[in-house]
Each structure stands twice: as C-alpha cells, then as structure tokens.
Amino acid sequence: MKNFILILIFTLFLMGDEFHSVKFSGDYGSSDEEFSDETLEKICHIEYPPTYKVWKNNPMFSKKDIKLFRTNLKSYMESIGYYDGKVDITTAEDTIYVHIKKNRTIKVNSLKVPDEFKSFMRVKVSDRFKTKDFTQTKKSISRFLEENGYPDYKMESKAIVDVDLYKVDVSFEIQKGEKRYFGKTDINNSANIDNKLIAQALEYKEGELYDVKKVEKSYDNLYRFGVFEGINIKADTNISKMPMKLSLVQGKTKSVITQVGYDTQDGVSGGLEYNDNNFFGDLNQLQIKAKGSLDRGYSIKSRFFKPQIIDDISLSDEVSYSDWDYESYEEKLLSNRIYLGKKILEGVHNLGILTQKSDIVSKSLLVEDGSYLINALFYSAIFDYRDLPMDAKNGTYYNFYIENASKVLGSDIDYLKVEAEARYIKEFAPFVFASKLKVGAINKDVSIFKRLFAGGAMSNRGYEYQMVGETLEDYPLGGNSMIEGSVELRRYFWDKFAVVGFFDSTMLSQEPNDFNSEFYNSFGTGIRYMSPIGAVRLDIGFPQKGGDYAIHFGIGEVF
C-alpha cells in the first residue's frame, strides 16, 4: 500500500511538470520573420504535427525543456546580432510563456578583405552582424575558388566580437594558391563495365581547368546508372595537372517492384516491374513491366537498352502488348520501337522505326472497327532542365516528337504526326508557379486510335479522361489538331503539403491543321502530398461549359 502511495505521489509530481503549449511574445513586430512563432519553434525544436495528421498528438514539455529553450534562444539571438538580448520564461498552469527582449544590436565595426573578393561580402560595415551572413560569405568565396581552378586555397576568416565595446571586427585572409587542371583519371572499377563507358559519364576532361561543379555532376551521372553503391573521386592537388582517382564499388543491380493503387483514370490497378541495370555487363539495361487494371485491361512491356554501340550512340528496343479499354474504343496493340539515341546540346535525341499491329473495336456504330499495320519513322528530342522531375519547383522542360507512317514502308495508312510541349516552373517561396503549353497536329484525318485526345488528370482537369471535344453517342472522337495550355499556382504550407489553383484550356479540332476552333476552358483547385514515390494529387476541376465538375486522383506531378 505504501509503495502504491509513493508511486501515485511521484506520478502526480511528474504530471505537474508537464506543459501542453508554448507562447512567445517580445519587443518585435508581427511581421518580423526572425521572431515569428514558426522560426522560434524551430529554434526550440518544437514540432507540432500538421493539421491533416489528425492521428498525431501535440508534443508535451517539461522543466528540462525550459532550460533548453532559454539556451537555444539565447544562442539564436547572438547569431543574428542581439548579444544583449534577454529571454524570460514563466509558466502558468499547462503553458510555458517565453518573453524575448532584443535590446540593442551589435554591428560590424571594420571589414578587412582583399579587393578581389569584396563583391562576395554579405557582411558590411555598420550593418547588424549576423552569423549566417558571415558563414555564407565564406561559402561563396570557397565556391568561387573551387569552380575556377583553386581547389587547394587557404582562407582564414575571423569575426572578433567585443561584447564590452559592443562591436565586431571581421577579416578575411585568402591565399588562392596556383591554378589546377584536371589530369588523367585512374579508374578502379569492381563492376563488369568497360572503363570507356565510365569515362563517358565524367563531365570533366583531361587538361580542363578544375571546376568542382563538373566533379559533382560526374557523381550524379555515375549514381544514375543504378549500379554502384560506393563512388569516390579524389584529386591530387599537389600537382598543377592533377591526377584524378575514381574508385567504384558495385552494389545491387537487379530489383523487383510491385505496385497496387487507384486513380480516377484507370481505377484499381496493380503492376510488377523487373529491372537489371547491368544486364550481362557494360551498363546494358533490361526492364520488364506488367500492369493490370480492373477497368481498363492489361499491358506488358519490355525494354532493352545498350548505352553504346558506336561512339556515344545508344540502342533501345521496346516491345509491348496491351489489351486496353479506352473511352471510345477497345484496342489490342502489339508494338515494337527500335531506335538510336544520342545526347546533343544537353538534350536526348532519338531516331527510330515504329511497327504496330492494332485491332480496334469501336464502341460507336458510326465508327468503323478495323485492323491496322503501322510502319513509321519517328524522331524525339527531350531537354529537361527541371531541378527535381518528381516535384519540380524551378526549371524548364521541352519535348518534341514527330512520327511519319508511309505506305512505302508497308504501312496500311500514311500520316504525319507532330507534337511539341514546353513547361516552365518558378518558385516564389512559399509559392510555385507552373505553366505548360502543348501543340499537336496530324496532316490528315486518321483512324480514331491515332487521333489526339485531351481531358483528364494530366490534361484538361475540368473534364474526364479523353472527354474534351466533340462526341458521338457520348463517346469522344478526339481530333487532328490540338492546342493545350495550363497554369497552376501551388502554395506550400509544409515541406510535403501544398494547395493548388489551376486554369486549363484546350482547343481540339477534327480538321487537320486547324488551330482556330473553340477552346474548352476549366478552372479548379487541388491538394498535393509529396510521398517517396511522387506527388499524390487530388484535383477538382470545373468546366466553363459542357458538363459537370470532374475529380481526379493519382500520383505524379502534372508539370
């Protein structure tokens, strides 16, 4: 009984030390970002769960936390120039009250720096001294030197704080050293890969001026192979023409991925994917994908990729079969694409032959069924300058595709199909503006399975999948000429959560080379959650005419 009472008293004592919230106040304005609640919570390592994570509880605080709050806040205030600042903390019931008094600011009294580097100074005489400005200045100078041939520079930077006289004296002493150049690269490679292929992934060339950006890009290129688990590039900076040593350790090259999901376009679906990133060596790739949808059907696709057959020219061979249910027709499609690829002017260019055997069953009595053999030449070019393709916040993207089927090649029909797309994304934190423009044209009226369609989660979001344009018996007919544009504004509330507003517009005409037809406009809103496999999207779009609203759910960013 006595033990029970002691435990009860101890538990009540501990409960008395628990606090449920922290309130901040002080001699600063509500618009002062340096002392916003969000900033101060980060300094104190206070993290409240996002509103949408309703299953998570708010954090609890103890008297030990109060001591850490005071220490962290005092250090933070000194780092932004308030060495004379005060932090008063009191408690009442279950709340911790933190009152901050900034007092006077400490300023830069003198600045000593070589004339060559004055333009990099974020620290200025008579300005309030901030540690982050001092640190960023050092980083900027270091980066400039490493990008311009000086990897073995020496820099001594000082910020002498005199609390008594309340001033800071800043100095930078920099010795650039001699210029360095890339020398010969010695490759130590444990994988079954020809060193010539490895060398092609290196952005730097022997004899070029040293630039750390080229070394970093080389790391990225090597990691993208999906073969190496260990990569190390080391330079001997004691020699003007620096010998480079590249060490590579092979990791796992094979993977199997299973997928189960739902989206409003294909319904419930699942898939299986096999990848071998070093198929019989030399970075040959083999990929086999199978997908099934309860609403649409199934597809199987294999892709073999050989990175080099002649110089920097690659070879790809894609074979696929699908039995798929579209809005206006059902199609059984056997397809083979064989093409050569080469990187030119930062773009990936492909030139090849397309062979397709398509069996069409129309859902409308006014559109004929048919079986078609297509033989065509095609060319594509992709220029991708986005920062993160899965969740781009800055950059541009360009895509061009041309397909020419001809009876001379044994095709049942001949046509010329051209498509071009451009995207622009720009961040204005916490906002991201995104836009895209797509144009498509076919030189003659073609069968429905080769026409252009619009509408859906990745197109005009005010309409259901492929439902933009003219219909026959409620089935979409598609078109032979198209212009489609979209603009979107995202507002990020947390790193992984955003709300969007968008406007989409599409012109779709059944006439070849007709770009003066009516536009189908829509607007709407949506939410984004950035998951490890891409952006989870939920959009609701409202057409300005011709239908009710449309809801789209899926994975992958529209831009």
Which tens digits make up the pLDDT trace of 525-555?
A: 999 988 877 788 999 999 987 678 999 998 8
| Amino acid sitting at position 490 | R
pLDDT at residue 83, as a whole number: 94
Q: pLDDT grade, residue 52 (50/70/90)? A: low
pLDDT beyond 90 at 26: yes
Q: Which long-range contacts (CB under 8 A, 24 or more apart) does 288-291 make?
A: 291/259
What stretches of 320-401 show up as alpha helix (H) in DSSP?
none
Average pLDDT on 371-382 reads 96
How far CA 541 is from CA of 4, 30, 84, 499, 553, in Å, comes to 62, 36, 55, 14, 11
pLDDT at residue 367, as a whole number: 66
pLDDT beyond 70 at 213: yes
Asked if 473 and 366 count as a contact pair (C-beta separation under 8 A), the reply is yes
CA nearest 337: which of 308, 305, 360?
A: 305
Rounded Cα gap, residues 146 and 209, in angstroms = 10
Place of tokens 């030390």: 17
Architecture of the domain made up of 181-250: Roll (3.10)
Token pair in block for residue 81 = 């120039």
Q: Which residue has the higher pLDDT, 63 or 247?
A: 247
Rounded Cα gap, residues 202 and 185, in angstroms = 10
Architecture of the domain made up of 2-101: Roll (3.10)
Please report, rounded to a whole number, the percentage of residues in the chain having pLDDT higher than 90.
77
Rounded Cα gap, residues 365 and 379, in angstroms = 35
Name, in order, each residue with C-beta under 8 angstroms of 262's C-beta and a sequence gap of 6 or more.
268, 269, 553
Beta strands 254-263; 329-344: pairing state:
unpaired
How far is Cα of residue 231 from the mean position of the Cα atoms in its chain?
Answer: 23
Residue intervals of the chain classified under CATH 2.40.160.50 are 326-555
Q: pLDDT grade, residue 14 (50/70/90)? A: very low
Place of tokens 């609890």: 60
Number of alpha carbons in the 13 Å side-chain half-sphere of residue 73: 27
Residue intervals of the chain classified under CATH 3.10.20.310 are 2-101, 107-175, 181-250
Average pLDDT on 166-195 reads 94
Write the class of the CATH domain 326-555: mainly beta
CA nearest 383: which of 414, 431, 346?
A: 346
In three-state secondary structure terms, 162 is strand
Q: pLDDT grade, residue 51 (50/70/90)? A: low
What stretches of 110-228 show up as alpha helix (H) in DSSP?
131-147, 195-200, 212-224
Q: If you average pLDDT over every residue of the chain, what do you get?
A: 91
How far is Cα of residue 23 from the mean position of the Cα atoms in its chain?
Answer: 36
pLDDT at residue 48, as a whole number: 83
pLDDT at residue 6, as a whole number: 44
pTM: 0.79
What's the fold here for domain 107-175? Ubiquitin-like (UB roll) (3.10.20)
pLDDT beyond 70 at 415: yes
Sheet holding 167-175, edge to edge: 107-112, 167-175, 154-162
pLDDT at residue 369, as a whole number: 85
How far CA 264 is from CA of 269, 295, 545, 550, in Å, comes to 11, 10, 21, 10
Average pLDDT on 382-391 reads 89
Number of alpha carbons in the 13 Å side-chain half-sphere of residue 415: 21
Average pLDDT on 366-379 reads 88
